[in-house]
Structure 1
Amino acid sequence: MLLRFRVANVHSMRDEQELSFTVPAGQDGGPARTVALSSGKDIEVYPLVGIFGANASGKSNVLAALSKMRDAVLTSYAEWTSYREIPRQVFALDDTSEHDSSFFEVDFVAQDGVRWTYGFELGATRVEAEWLHAYPHGRRQVWFERDATRDEEYDFRGGRVQDRARLARTTRPNALFLSRAATDNHPQLTPIYRWFDQNLWLITPEHELREREAYTVRRLQDKQSRRRIEELLRVADLGISGTALEQQPGRTPTVRLKHSSGRLLDWSQESYGTRSWFALLGPMLLALDEGAVLLVDELDASLHPRFAAEVVRLFHDPAVNSRGAQLVFTSHDPSLLRTPSGSRLLDPGEIWLTEKDQDGATELYPLTSAEPGEREDLMSSYLAGAFGAVPDVTEGQIARRLLAARAMGAEAGQA
């Protein structure tokens, strides 16, 4: 399970920002899960976090940074050979960030209960630093540390990493040591690489919609998966009663949805909202089945708020989410902070906020830092600006600005 993500100088996040799934000591974690560590201690971890904020405040950039870290681990050794510089997206609104390194770090718990910390810093042309630490007994074990400014770049303490000298010698300056080790199926480091391969899947509203639709179609070929997908289509109240899978030799299967009228519509006739929900089902069920971390940008995009709320409930439900899957989502919709009955859909510790400072840099912070009252209506307080992270626009301001601009244009035309 993912415990924490730290990042700096990536997209709009200039200064170091942290996103945490862990419940602070002494606080009631509500829907948090108890995770047993190999050290014999337990830790309380949330099954999801939602990131809210104004337009262009950097919500999506948090997910993009997580995805960039995953991409770097999976592709740096094989694909960065052709780049003159390391592909980075640094903070672009000052004159210094392009010369600074980009920083990424995650803490996670592996299936055997061992907590790991892995991170790296990327410069323009080389990996400036990289490190891997384990906590099997609660104390830090340094597996390796890399610093490009030292004469001896790599430090392998305790001799824990097999074949370390050869791997260090054959790792390019612009590639990650972890990526290099995984190409040889390294027995100790490949499981860390696979954690990234099996987690941090990013879903955005516009990108890869057809690929996600096709993946959900493929899952329909499994009887058990088909029953679950059809039930989720029915419960969404889209007027759909089932699916019809059409297979032709040598071609990719296609699907048509059965409507309550009994008619089968061509896929192109389905609404964008129906297609978005269908495309989400395959990856979401895979994450629940595998216990993976799923990233969904704009969860409420093309989905009714009640659909988005049901996704939250799926990850909260320990019977459905029995393998410890986690969800990180962004949303503009404050109704996700409150159920129709007036109770809280999300625990305050699951709510994170983004806003930009006067220099355009994103600040990411938990709602709990505002110390909301135990019975406080989070949606009303959020909309009122009590927690920040809302647009700095007064009622009617946009219309007044538009009228003023029109008047100025008219005066200029008469001059």
Structure 2
Amino acid sequence: MIYAFGAQNYFSFREGMSASFQLSAKVPVSVSQGRRISTVLGIKGGNASGKTNILKGLAFLQEFISDSFSLEDGDGLGFDTYFGIKDESNFFIDFKVGDVRYLYELTATPFSVVREALYKKLQRKTLIVERLEDVIVERSNEFKSLDFILLKSNASLISTAVKYKIKDLPIDFLNIVEYFGNMSGNVTRVGVVPDESMFKRDTASAFYYKVDRAFEFAKNIIKNSDLGIIDIQIQKNELSAGKVQYVPMFLHKVGKSNDTRFLTAFDQSSGTMALYRRLAMYWMVLEDGGVLVMDEFDQNCHPMLLPSLIKLFTDKETNPKGAQFIFTAHNADIIDELGKYRTILVSKEDGESYSYRLDEIPGDLIRNDRSIAALYREGKIGGVPKL
């Protein structure tokens, strides 16, 4: 579970940005559901304000921590500084795996690590390991086996240690890599993945065909979304050379009679098929207790459907493992669904982005009995495009 993450001198954020899921005791129970860490966080702002860069920052940390050892020598880490300035960039992520809370810190240039550190946060903050460039300068005794690994300038210590498969290494690093492996979505460290290639219709159908619970999950949501679909079936077709094709067929009611007709995926709207594909990811993240990162999650989706998708993560019955959902959206009404404790606004001035969570705005402008979306549209709380 993520508590907070952030970056400084990262793409359009020069002074820095941070995103916090933490909820204080002052947050109403109707919002917190008794949790001290939110399971949803929405990001709003004008076009090119820097919203996606926040998600890219999280995706960068996920990929760098868990899989950067796969980078070739000389490859960049996968980020850029504010307008290419030569200063170092700083990153952090505060997260929990199982019963252990960690703080990870990274200082880097776009091509090499300057400093990297991992702390455990139990009764107090305790350093596990710290590196400066390619040398480990501090480590706890239980991690002495790290003395025998060769560090790469463009790879994380955690990813490197796991790839070396060191026998005497405590389980922490492997648990961290597995946790970040459960992060999914349409955002990578270098940008947004097109919806069609993120989870194609064929691969989603193959997944649904093999995992009944996921298929029932997706069918129930689609049938309840007033799309005219009363059932979905998946046909398994044997092709030449041993290949298999999975074809979804959507059953529609015809008129006021009890007559029904099957239609193919090509006869469905782009919104229906986007929902069909994406629900496979939603189910996997909820099942694993992972993190879903989605840019413009409201794209091709009716506004009245958005609250029900968010509720999948806020409701403890559908999200017993505390999976988290962080997203950007253009729909303004979504702010009222999230409230001030779960909404980050992003603005840009003179080419520099800055962000803030709505409960950081002083005074009583934002109240629980007033529509926040109305204030947003009027430009009173920032984060709107200047037209």
User: 5 Å matches for 1:39-118?
Assistant: 44-81=36-73, 83=75, 85-92=76-83, 97-111=84-98, 113-118=99-104
Give the corresponding residue for 1:279. Answer: 277
Q: Name the residue aligned to 1:355.
A: 347
Query: Are residues 1:206 and 2:206 paired?
Result: no
Partner of 1:342: none
Q: Is the 8 Å Cα contact of residues 126 and 174 (structure 1) preserved in structure 2?
A: yes
Question: Residue 126 of structure 1 corresponds to which residue in structure 2?
Answer: 112
CA separation in 2, counterparts of 1:264 and 1:3? 46
Greater strand share, structure number: 2
Q: Tell me the alpha carbon deviations over residues 131-178 of structure 1, each in whole angstroms, 9 at most, x when there is no partner.
A: 100013x20110011122xxx9323333131411112xx111222111
Contact in 1 for aligned 2:286/2:321 (Cα 8 Å): yes
Structure 1 residue 180, shift from structure 2 partner: 0.4
**2:346 aligned partner, one-letter code:** T
Q: What CA distance in whole angstroms lies between the structure 2 residues aligned with 1:205 and 1:79?
A: 20
Structure 1 residue corresponding to 2:178, chosen from 171, 190, 194 = 194
Against the structure 1 CA distance between its residues 230 and 133, is the aligned structure 2 distance closer, same or farther, given a 3 Å change threshold? Answer: same
Larger Rg: 1
CA distance in 1, matches of 2:115, 2:64: 14
In structure 1, the residue matched to 2:257 is none
- 8 Å CA contact 2:118–2:127 kept in 1: the answer is yes
Q: What does 1:281-296 align with in structure 2 at a 5 Å threshold? A: 281-296=279-294
**1-structure distance, mates of 2:144, 2:30:** 42
Q: Note if 1:140 corresponds to 2:129.
A: no
Q: State whether residues 49 and 348 of structure 2, in contact with CA within 8 Å, keep that contact through their aligned partners in structure 1.
A: yes
Q: What is the number of equivalent residue pairs in this alignment?
A: 366
Name the residue aligned to 1:255: 248
Whole-angstrom CA distance in 2 between matches of 1:207 and 1:277? 10
Partner amino acid, structure 1, of 2:153: P
CA deviation profile, 1:335-361 (whole Å, cap 9, x unmatched): 1133xxxxxx22310011000022x11
Q: State whether residues 125 and 174 of structure 1, in contact with CA within 8 Å, keep that contact through their aligned partners in structure 2.
A: yes
CA distance in 2, matches of 1:226, 1:145: 45
Q: Is the 8 A contact 2:66 2:176 kept in 1?
A: no
2:155 aligned with 1:175? yes
Contact 1:31–1:47, Cα closer than 8 Å, also in 2: no
Helix, strand or coil: the match of 1:65? helix
| C-alpha contact 2:184 2:285 (8 A) present in aligned 1 | no
Taking the aligned partners of 1:145 and 1:106, their CA distance within structure 2 comes to: 15
Alpha-carbon distance in structure 2 between the residues aligned to 1:257 and 1:274: 10
Name the residue aligned to 1:377. 371
Query: In angstroms, what is the RMSD of aligned CA positions?
Result: 2.1
What percentage of residue pairs aligned between the two structures are identical?
23
- Tell me the distance in 1 between the aligned counterparts of 2:95 and 2:33: 14
What TM-score comes out, normalization by structure 2 length? 0.88
Shift of the 202–30 alpha-carbon distance from structure 1 to 2, 3 Å rule, reads farther
CA distance 1:105–1:201, change in 2 (3 Å)? farther
Asked if structure 2 preserves the Cα contact closer than 8 Å seen for 1:205 and 1:298, the reply is no
Q: CA deviation at 1:114?
A: 1.4
Distance 1:184 1:198 in 2: 21
Amino acid at match of 2:237: Q
Q: Which amino acid aligns with 2:41?
A: V
Instruction: Tell me how far apart the structure 1 counterparts of residues 26 and 306 of structure 2 sit (CA, whole Å).
Output: 30
Partner of 1:397: none
- The alpha carbon displacement at 1:208 in A equals 4.5
Any stretches of 5+ residues in structure 2 without a counterpart? 255-259
Distance 1:210 1:117 in 2: 30
Instruction: Give the C-alpha shift of residue 90 in structure 1.
Output: 2.3
Contact 1:23 1:29 (8 Å CA) reproduced: no
CA 1:213–1:74: 2 relative to 1, 3 Å: farther
- Determine whether 1:364 maps to 2:355: yes
CA 1:124–1:277 in 2, change beyond 3 Å: closer, same or farther? Answer: closer
Cα distance between partner residues in 2 of 1:228 and 1:134:
37
3-state SS in 1 of match to 2:154: coil
Gaps of 5+ in 1: 36-43, 339-344, 394-415
TM-superposed deviation, 1:200: 5.0
Pair 290,139 (structure 1): closer, same or farther in 2 beyond 3 Å:
same
How far off is 1:25 after superposition? 5.0
Q: Which amino acid aligns with 2:288?
A: E
Alpha-carbon displacement from aligned partner over 1:75-109 (angstroms, at most 9, x marks no partner): 321223252x44322222xxxx4312232211111
Post-superposition offset of 1:55: 1.1
Of stretches 51-60 and 242-251 in structure 1, the one that deviates more from structure 2 is: 242-251
